[in-house]
A and B are shown apart, each in its own frame.
Chain A
Amino acid sequence: KNEVEQSPQNLTAQEGEFITINCSYSVGISALHWLQQHPGGGIVSLFMLSSGKKKHGRLIATINIQEKHSSLHITASHPRDSAVYICAAPHYGGSQGNLIFGKGTKLSVKP
């Protein structure tokens, strides 16, 4: 069974700062998800990655399969980035089954 750990749990930043959120997991996986949960509760899928790096706008996600670690970076952070960021990995590592979620990192970006 996969265990997913995120750090930090809470993060406060000033607008414009570079943000890094970390995720580690215990079982080798086929892919990892990064999700964003808005204050209203809705979840949006940001990235699904299996190797290397993906970039979407100011968001960058990296994964190191050997080290079982992934990071989510936000460049030039903005107050609208304030949300909870969650990583999720397959329970058994493969592409079937279900996802195990981290506890989330609550990001607050101050103007």
Chain B
Amino acid sequence: EPEVTQTPSHQVTQMGQEVILRCVPISNHLYFYWYRQILGQKVEFLVSFYNNEISEKSEIFDDQFSVERPDGSNFTLKIRSTKLEDSAMYFCASSNRGLWEQYFGPGTRLTVT
């Protein structure tokens, strides 16, 4: 069964460093999403991406964040200058039908020290 994959599974970085979280969505999917979950809190939407552009973003997704689909398979989330409060689990999801039937990746746990 096709699945969404994410790398790395755990990333530790120092405050102020740039990180890139990588996702490989399911191959025929057209809609891509990033969510995050701070430890002990609920999952929050960050950004959605369709047709090579951002279709929606939340208040969390400020200028420090960017997304890219550099080739036909990867979908990346970049945080330019990490802060302690960026420590969270980041989930990628993809879909062929918008909010219908989203498939989630296993997550990347980001720890900012």
Given the known inter-chain contacts A95-B99, A96-B99, A98-B56, please indicate yes or no for A45 contacting B104, CB distance below 8 A. Answer: yes
Q: Which residue of A lies closest to B46 (CB)?
A: A98
Q: Which residue of A lies closest to B6 (CB)?
A: A42
Interface range, B side: 20 to 34
- Residue A41 at the chain B interface, CB threshold 8 Å: yes
Number of interface residues of A (CB under 8 A): 25
Report 18 cross-chain contacts, Cβ distance below 8 Å, ordered by A residue: A41-B106, A42-B104, A42-B107, A43-B106, A45-B104, A91-B45, A94-B99, A95-B97, A95-B99, A95-B100, A96-B55, A96-B99, A98-B48, A98-B56, A99-B45, A101-B35, A101-B43, A103-B41
Given contacts A31-B100, A41-B106, 14 further A-B contacts (CB under 8 A): A41-B37, A41-B89, A41-B107, A41-B109, A42-B107, A45-B101, A45-B102, A48-B102, A86-B42, A94-B99, A95-B99, A98-B99, A99-B102, A104-B42
Task: Mark B residues whose CB is within 8 Å of A.
Answer: 33, 35, 37, 41-45, 48, 55-56, 58, 89, 91, 97-104, 106-107, 109
